[in-house]
Amino acid sequence: MRLVVPVSGSDPKTRLSSVLRPDERREFTEAMLADVLDALETAGHSPRVVATAPVACDAPVTVDDRGLDSLVNDLLAETDGELAVVMADLPLLTADAVARLFAPDADVVLAPGLGGGTNAFVSRHPDFRVDYHGASIRDHRRVARDVGAAVAEVDSRLLATDVDEPGDLAEVLLHSDGAAADWLRDAGFELAVDEGRVTVDRP
């Protein structure tokens, strides 16, 4: 089964603009991608990266400026629906979590992200298609049901934790010692602990 990791190479992670400069956002994006590729490869997969602009990583990269929906739906059509897609901004990902994504014997396996996204899927159904806008996990459940696919969802915090906003950076520092966590620490980020949820500071 083909396994694709889409990533924005041009102006990634704009919602981190309040804490990271453009060049830093690109570096941090590549660090998260390295963590994702490492988890996938450790789990025995051979991922390919599809990026909107060149990115540095240890996997084959295709530069393709199609939007995410067009890209993934074209790939689903090309592969007769035998496709796995894992997002590039999941720096907590481990080989065990990857194995759990591929384990269910279902036509479509969905990994919900926090806030309604779909952070990864495995499709084994010819008619499954994606729509990443809005609360995509709801749309993907509906699409899978409408085409008659048996659906499973994987209950994984590590797959659910995509990093989009400054508040998400705490999860990386709390739970990872991978490339993205190293990058944050080198850039001066540290955990800020008071009442309520832990956040980050960059003193």
Binding site for its own copies (CB under 8 A): 15, 94, 96-97, 100, 112, 114-117, 134-135, 137-138, 155-161, 164-165, 170-171, 174-175, 191, 193-194, 196-198
The identity of residue 117, as a single letter, is G
Q: Are 83 and 75 in contact (CB under 8 A)?
A: yes
**119/123 with CB nearer its own copies:** 119
C-alpha R_g of the chain: 17
**76/172 with CB nearer its own copies:** 172
State in angstroms the smallest separation of the CB of 115 from its own copies. 3
State in angstroms the smallest separation of the CB of 48 from its own copies. 25
The residue count for the chain? 203
* 3-state secondary structure (DSSP) of residue 77: helix
State in angstroms the smallest separation of the CB of 47 from its own copies. 20
Q: Are 107 and 151 in contact (CB under 8 A)?
A: yes
State in angstroms the smallest separation of the CB of 54 from its own copies. 26
- Please give the distance of CA 133 from its chain centroid, rounded to a whole number: 15
